[in-house]
Amino acid sequence: MIKRTHIIAALIGASSLAGLTPAIAQTSAEKLAALEARITRLEDMNAIEKLQRSYGYFVDKGQWTPLSELFTQDATLEIGGKGIFLGKARVLEYMQKAFGPDGTKKGALVNHMQFQPIPDISADGKTGWVRARAWVMSNGGWGLPLYENEYRKENGVWKISRLTGPFTMYSSWEGWGKWAMNNTWPDKFDPPPDLPPSVIYLTYPAYYIVPFHYPNPVTGKVFKPDMGEVGAYHRPPGTKEQQDSLKVGRWVDGSQPIGEPPRN
């Protein structure tokens, strides 16, 4: 009996010892891996912030070729209400056709200053998002686009995979108290888009809230702007104008056309 107990005790002891050694090693390796994941996340958030800022610095100086090289091959671009442009080549065409060939040009001030970024990285570290704003100071006037952009890490390098820049307000030098553009539209912009706008809305004095890619940082609750009331606020809720505006840019079933990039 006694002998048997000893053997069992010895076996348990041995097995726990055997179990312990790799467990400690694994834990410290795991700790290191967790530490690296946290460092990588900080580096990734930093990288996509800088990527977005360098987009702005290229816009400021009309450097469209290096600007387009910030995008993935299958990237989508949607700015204001002009519709969706599919692929890196069309990003370049959008810029060069609408704003002229590459280079800083006399008489052109087109500063798109990139402020207030909120970056996030997916759990697998392959996708990133930034909500940010541009403050446009140009020879034409003032502008306030927002951004809800998506980024992809390809072979260790972050690129813009989706640029979504709905406008908040655009005005001339007369000031937004006197005049504001209600949005931009595909039929008033050359080149034409590949797909219609993902959402139809009016800018200031109406307003549209582009959905947040992240939840409320304190409560963790997801805030969903009422997409049914997009562009509805140029008249008080309940008025006929507000009700009519709910039908703008919708299919007969009430849904809105949303573009997806080609997958071939």
The footprint of other proteins (CB under 8 A) covers: 25, 28-29, 32, 35-36, 39, 42-43, 46-47, 50-51, 53-54, 56-57, 60-63, 66, 69-70, 97-109, 111, 113-115, 135, 137-141, 157-159, 172-173, 179, 181, 184, 188-190
Q: How many CB atoms lie within 10 A of CB 202?
A: 21
Minimum Å distance from CB 221 to other proteins? 30
Question: Least distance to other proteins from the beta carbon of 105, Å?
Answer: 5
Which CB, 103 or 205, lies closer to other proteins? 103
Sign of CA dihedral 32, 37, 39, 40: positive
- 10-13 long-range CB contacts below 8 Å, 24 or more apart? none
Query: Among residues 152 and 198, whose Cβ is nearest to other proteins?
Result: 152
Of the pair 154, 241, the CB lying nearest other proteins is at: 154
Closer residue to other proteins (CB): 81 or 231? 81
CB distance 83 to 186 below 8 Å: yes
SS3 37: helix
For residue 184, the minimal CB distance to other proteins (Å) is 7
Tell me the closest approach of the beta carbon of residue 232 to other proteins, in angstroms: 25
Determine the Cα–Cα distance for residues 93 and 224; give it in Å rounded to an integer.
34
d(Cα 169, Cα 149) in Å, to the nearest integer?
19
DSSP H/E element including 146: strand 141-154
Q: At closest approach, how far in Å is the CB of 188 from other proteins?
A: 7
Which residues does residue 67 pair with via DSSP β-bridges, in sequence order?
none
As measured in angstroms, the least distance from the Cβ of 205 to other proteins is 16
Measured in whole angstroms, how far is the alpha carbon of residue 22 from the centre of its chain? 43
What's the min distance (Å) between Cβ of 5 and other proteins? 31
Please say which residue, 77 or 232, places its beta carbon nearer to other proteins.
Answer: 77
CB closer to other proteins, 95 vs 232: 95
* DSSP 8-state assignment for residue 171: E
Q: What span, in angstroms and rounded, lies between the C-alpha atoms of 132 and 165?
A: 9
* Dist CA 98 CA 105 (whole Å): 14
Q: How far apart are CA 162 and CA 167, in angstroms?
A: 16
The smaller minimum CB distance to other proteins, of residues 92 and 232, is found at 92
CB burial of 88-107 (b: ≥16 within 10 Å; e: otherwise) equals: bebbbebbbeeeeebeeeee
